[in-house]
Structure 1
């Protein structure tokens, strides 16, 4: 397994986590497909969505893979009037990550991060480790601290 910068950072800081690896299917990069391959509950695998606010700039939403981000709730969380999903063609330039491998940790720049409150249901959730086919299982409380994020309602 190739260690990503996310995995190296977690190891260096002695943060408990587990690495999960699966075979990538380029035709289905969904979090629900990843959950199926990993044998996890679909709601426990979270995806990272980057949005752009009218005034607030870029923001990161971490939501269950089975759900869609509610842009009105995301805008409210960011204190903005409106937000829109970042076009996929801009994702790598903004975050340093590609679709299907976007981690909420260690993006090119630090962006406000919002984690859906349903993460608190689980002792650990799965998020991207920064590469397609590689996830980390991590305590949601630890994730919110590392990302300097906040828990809030982000799904419809």
Structure 2
């Protein structure tokens, strides 16, 4: 898989962060995260999706939650000190993050937006997030991801 290195993998290597790359069969369209976990043969509690939202202040935030869960916008707003939170429109994703839907990673974002991981990441040895491209995932220690993107953890799901 070395020939299919993504920018996210290069960033992890630059920071000497160990990771395991995973690849799953894909077309051009995003696959839902639960299906990705199945394709990878991984526990859905270990596979996380990256969501981008806008606070009432206009600031952009990145939330990383288990794929089978829904982001609770009230809890997300509270976690980052906003009065309210709304998901960005999918057509804004590439311009804001540099990533397409289904390939959005908390690593290597266009700008260093605040990142919050769901607190369950602290309870498992490794988590799997997008490697920045549809069909590619990376598995790494939650503490390494948190340190790299200066994330915090909070209760983000209903």
Using the size of structure 2 for normalisation, the TM-score is 0.95
Q: Is the 8 A contact 1:56 1:80 kept in 2?
A: no
Number of corresponding residues: 156
Residues 1:116 and 2:111 aligned together: no
| SS at 2:145 equivalent | helix
Alpha-carbon deviations, 1:79-121, whole Å to 9, x = none? 0100100100100010000000000011110101100001112
Q: What are the residue-to-residue correspondences of 1:130-149 with 2, within 5 Å?
A: 130-149=132-151
Unaligned runs of 5+ in 2: none
Which of 1, 24, 27 pairs up with 2:26? 24
* Partners of 1:86 and 1:27 in 2: CA distance: 19
Aligned to 2:10: 8
Using the size of structure 1 for normalisation, the TM-score is 0.96
* Partners of 2:30 and 2:109 in 1: CA distance: 23
* Partners of 2:141 and 2:16 in 1: CA distance: 13
* Partners of 1:7 and 1:28 in 2: CA distance: 20
Aligned to 1:94: 96
List structure 1 runs of 4+ shifted beyond 3 angstroms: 25-28
* Partners of 2:90 and 2:16 in 1: CA distance: 33
RMSD (Å) for aligned C-alpha atoms: 1.2
Q: What are the residue-to-residue correspondences of 1:27-38 with 2, within 5 Å?
A: 29-38=31-40
